[in-house]
Amino acid sequence: MSKRILMVCLGNICRSPIGHGIMAEISPNSFVDSAGTGSFHIGSPPDQRSIQVSQDNGIDICHQSARQFRSSDFTKFDHIFVMDRQNYRDVIAKANHQDNIDKVELLCEAAGMGMRPVPDPYYGGDEGFKNVFDLVKTACHRIAEQWKENYE
């Protein structure tokens, strides 16, 4: 089952690159990308701590480069998963119609894990990145399982 999936956080250097890497790993037939709602890290690689925790879990995200979410992403992607409510508000503010808004979901909510956000680990230590990796991995696996059940 092939899907076009976009992971979105604030700067596209911590949470969304991790989500991008995990979802690409578990959905190899899908096109997966990531973006940030802010412009401050455009062109930058993921945060070294995101790279490390992903690498520690067998996922290489070194090739990723931060970019900003744009309105054209609504036509390029089937699913847009955001990491927190502010990301949600920022993304849907660029929507032109309800079909665009319908593609946007909080990652944890889409995974059946409630309305909880994926916390931004940027100002925390390595443990915060490990916790984010584990949370995003669980959410991505749950979403992939839901898709699989819906297509069987």
Domain extent for 123: 4-150
Q: How far is CA 144 from CA 23, 33, 72, 137, in A?
A: 8, 16, 25, 11
4 is catalytic: no
Query: Rounded CA gap, 47 and 150, in Å?
Result: 35
List, for residues 113-131, the tens digit of each pLDDT value.
Answer: 999 999 999 998 899 999 9
Please name the residue that has the structure tokens 């230590």: 125
134 is catalytic: no
The chain-wide mean pLDDT, for the chain, equals 96
As for how many domains the chain has, the answer is 1
pTM, whole model, 2 decimals? 0.96
Q: What is the pLDDT of residue 34?
A: 98
List, for residues 11-55, the tens digit of each pLDDT value.
Answer: 999 999 999 999 999 999 999 999 999 999 999 999 999 999 999
Query: Rounded CA gap, 44 and 59, in Å?
Result: 18
Catalytic residue of the set 33, 73, 84, 120: 120
Domain CATH number, residue 32: 3.40.50.2300
Looking at residue 46, its amino acid is: P
